[in-house]
Chain A
Amino acid sequence: MLELRKDIFADERDDNLKEVGQPTQRQDMLGHVTGTSPYYDDHRFGNLLHLKLLRSPHAHARIRSIDDSAAARAPGVKRIIRGADVPVNLNTLLSLIQFGKDDEPSLATDVVRYKGEPILGVVATSERAALEALALVRVSYDPLPAVFDVEEALKPGAVSVNAAYPKNTFEYYGKYDHQKLRFGDVEAGFAHSDVVLEERYQMSPIEHAPTETNGSIAVPDTNGRFIVYTSTQALFFSLDTAAKINAMQSNQLHFIGGTVGGGFGGKVDTLTEPLSILAARLTGAPVRHRLSRHEEMQFGSPRGAERIYIKDGVKRDGRIVARKVTAYFDSGAYTRLSSYAAVKCAAHIPGPYTIQNVSADVYCVFTNRTPATAMRGFGVTALDFALECQMDKLAVAIGMDPLEFRILNAYRDGDMKAHRREAKNCALIECAQVAAEKAHWPLGDEYRRMSSRQGGGAARTGGADRTRAPAPAAPAAPARPSTPQRVSYERPAAAAPVTAPAPPPRSAPPPPAASPGGSTHGAPRFSSVFGTRRR
């Protein structure tokens, strides 16, 4: 059984909990273990047609001409679809909430902006016939210079990627080229710091690689309606997107989904539905549009690659006094959801820590790479990776225990966050304390006694006047001799003489004890740092 920590949020929680702590069965589990869960491709229709797309072999090129005459005559081909056939051939996903300009065609007509961008579709009686016909299409390209690096894309004279955003940056509120956060005075903070550490973090694009690839089947219904079986993660979002691109009313579309073979963010882009619906309209037959594994891996949008620079100033007593972040989100050739990722990133800076002086600039940048999209906390996860790496490096640089360093700087109730909102319901300190106990990681007594509910507020965050240079707060631990210096974590030998003591020796955590076997679901038992353990 789970043990609940009733002391946390005791005044806010309804104590009448019936489900928490009790195992309960998923409603779809029986279907999963019997192979009867209805994924989109588990529906069968007579005379099903298949749509496959011709994709650009160039990262950036002008399309001079397209010759599809041989493909149109190929065996089994029912219809060729070109950009001119798409009723609204320019869209951006978040236009549904009036956020951003339409920038991405369903089928490129004049310019291709990433390798794999769709140009033309073939609808045929089998996938094989469609692929064989695609091989007969002749496209003449004028290759254009391409840009693949976010900082290169922002330099003067860089190749312009996206016609809607010629400066290669997403425009917020119609005029701002990035998300900006200012709190206190970081430069003054750095001047007051004992150690200043600046690091660069580079993430890679990550493909979600769901075991079921993206796909959909559009079936003409009576009364001009279409039933669409789809793998989408976002049924109504995809419905509205498909309606817009096809210039249809949303009540002409009936989307059936919800059983998704893995998504992780890779199935919100509505990659297949608009064209399968269009193909069904143009042929009057059910049409399936299913990405191959190769298409899924190469052209399905990945998590965007972020580049994040962090510069921190920290005192020898462990307080972080200034944090400056510059982040670049690689959106690829089109916006999709990266504009939103940058907003989330800016909202998460400076992490769950109270820092008196914060400055951040977050850019959503267009390059000639595969358009990026949502993936499991996108915008926040990469930043957290960078921030927490940085926290470890800072702890080492000043000779503090990394967990105690986090506890010292963690938000406390009443602290003023860099976004000028008061921190409430903070629990990082308590989480860190429980984690330390679980891992048999020794914490100093004073860190064991710290609480999210104590010590927060104006005194800690430097008062209400955010324009002043930070006033030195009472040291939380005995101050060590401090001389301002820059520390490079990667090259400690080249850094100034190390005045900080080495971190206290830690015994390696013992291997986890064998599960007591009382749990039927394998979840670890939860024990309190304050209360008695149940073992």
Chain B
Amino acid sequence: MKTPIQFRLNGEEVAAFVESGANLLDVLRETVGDLSVKGGCWQGTCGTCTVLVDGAPRLSCLTLAEACAGKSIESVAGLRRGADLHPLQNAFMERFAAQCGYCTPGMLMAAKALLDRNPAPTREDVVDAICGNICRCTGYEPIIQAVLDAARGDNRRRA
């Protein structure tokens, strides 16, 4: 038994038939085809699959897809506008804030949620915002610096 749902993904209207109990992570990756969202634990412990639901960071592996009907979802695939990168993406590149890259999409979305809410965060704010995201290459310091850089710099893209 599948249920039709509709939501916005990175500003575009998306429709999908989902099984009851399906999580947002699987629906985004397998049904909609947004492969920028990564699964790390499928049990809500690593933060890798973080997306924004109506602007708030959510673990897509624990979010029921049906509960997202009518909502606005943001993933890292929607961060960049054409050839221009989001300031967070530029800062992550400049600061070498990615090693294997697997936690990066979730990190970026957790950081974006912070900057959208608080354009001038303190270091403690940044640490708090990414504290649910595990980086096993243990590159937290460059990530924190990158988020602070992005906040200090020209954040035109943040809208």
Q: What are 23 A-B contacts defined by CB distance under 8 Å?
A: A28-B101, A31-B101, A33-B76, A33-B101, A33-B108, A34-B79, A35-B35, A35-B75, A35-B104, A44-B33, A44-B35, A208-B136, A211-B103, A211-B136, A212-B38, A212-B40, A212-B102, A264-B136, A293-B41, A294-B43, A522-B141, A522-B142, A522-B145
Whether A35 contacts B100 by the Cβ 8 Å rule is no
Closest to B35 in A: A42
A496 CB to closest chain B CB, in angstroms? 43
Q: How far is the CA of A210 from the CA of B100 in the complex (A)?
A: 9
Q: For chain A residues 187-218, which have a beta carbon within 8 Å of chain B?
A: 208-213
B31 CB to closest chain A CB, in angstroms? 11
Q: Which residues of B contact A292 (CB under 8 A)?
A: 42
The 4 closest A-B pairs by CB, nearest first: A35-B36, A32-B101, A261-B102, A35-B76
Q: How far is the CA of A32 from the CA of B45 in the complex (A)?
A: 21
Does A37 sit within 8 A of B, measured CB to CB? Answer: yes
**Which B residues have a C-beta under 8 Å from some C-beta of A?**
33, 35-43, 45-46, 48, 75-77, 79-80, 85, 89, 92-96, 98, 100-105, 108, 134-137, 141-142, 145
Q: How far is the CA of A209 from the CA of B100 in the complex (A)?
A: 13
Q: Which residues of B contact A33 (CB under 8 A)?
A: 76, 85, 89, 92-93, 98, 101, 104, 108
Q: How far is the CA of A26 from the CA of B139 in the complex (A)?
A: 15
Within 8 Å by CB of A211, from B40, B79, B142, lies B40
Q: Which residues of B contact A29 (CB under 8 A)?
A: 92-93, 96, 98, 101
Pick from A33, A39, A259 the residue with the most CB of B within 10 Å.
A33
Q: How far is the CA of A208 from the CA of B136 in the complex (A)?
A: 8
Q: Which residues of A contact B98 (CB under 8 A)?
A: 29, 32-33
Q: Which residues of B contact A32 (CB under 8 A)?
A: 92, 98, 101, 104
Closest to A35 in B: B36
Q: How far is the CA of A265 from the CA of B101 in the complex (A)?
A: 17
Does A520 sit within 8 A of B, measured CB to CB? Answer: yes
Closest to B34 in A: A35
Whether B136 contacts A262 by the Cβ 8 Å rule is yes
Pick from B42, B45, B48, B141 the residue with the most CB of A within 10 Å.
B42
B64 CB to closest chain A CB, in angstroms? 16
B10 CB to closest chain A CB, in angstroms? 11
Q: Which residues of A contact B79 (CB under 8 A)?
A: 34
Whether B36 contacts A36 by the Cβ 8 Å rule is yes
Main SS class of interface, B = loop
A259 CB to closest chain B CB, in angstroms? 8
Q: Which residues of B contact A39 (CB under 8 A)?
A: 38, 102
Q: How far is the CA of A521 from the CA of B137 in the complex (A)?
A: 17
A225 CB to closest chain B CB, in angstroms? 25
Within 8 Å by CB of B89, from A25, A34, A41, A522, lies A34
Given known A-B contacts A293-B41, A520-B94, A260 and B75 have beta carbons under 8 A apart = no
Closest to B107 in A: A33
Q: How far is the CA of A29 from the CA of B101 in the complex (A)?
A: 8
Within 8 Å by CB of B136, from A34, A36, A209, lies A209
Q: How far is the CA of A34 from the CA of B136 in the complex (A)?
A: 19
A229 CB to closest chain B CB, in angstroms? 13
Whether B104 contacts A522 by the Cβ 8 Å rule is no
Q: Which residues of B contact A42 (CB under 8 A)?
A: 35
Whether B102 contacts A262 by the Cβ 8 Å rule is yes
Q: How far is the CA of A35 from the CA of B85 in the complex (A)?
A: 12
Q: Which residues of B contact A28 (CB under 8 A)?
A: 101
A518 CB to closest chain B CB, in angstroms? 14
Closest to A290 in B: B39
Pick from A30, A42, A212 the residue with the most CB of B within 10 Å.
A212
B35 CB to closest chain A CB, in angstroms? 5
Q: Which residues of A contact B43 (CB under 8 A)?
A: 293-294
Q: Which residues of A contact B36 (CB under 8 A)?
A: 34-36
Given known A-B contacts A32-B101, A34-B76, A211-B134, A261 and B38 have beta carbons under 8 A apart = yes
Whether B93 contacts A30 by the Cβ 8 Å rule is yes
Closest to A210 in B: B136
Closest to B108 in A: A33
Whether A260 contacts B142 by the Cβ 8 Å rule is no
Whether B134 contacts A521 by the Cβ 8 Å rule is no
Given known A-B contacts A33-B104, A39-B102, A522 and B95 have beta carbons under 8 A apart = yes
Whether B80 contacts A34 by the Cβ 8 Å rule is yes
Q: For chain A residues 359-388, which have a beta carbon within 8 Å of chain B?
A: none
Apart from A33-B89, A35-B75: 5 A-B pairs, beta carbons within 8 A: A32-B98, A261-B101, A261-B102, A521-B96, A522-B141
B95 CB to closest chain A CB, in angstroms? 7
Closest to A33 in B: B89
Whether A260 contacts B35 by the Cβ 8 Å rule is no
Q: How far is the CA of A293 from the CA of B45 in the complex (A)?
A: 10
B109 CB to closest chain A CB, in angstroms? 10
Q: Which residues of A contact B39 (CB under 8 A)?
A: 41
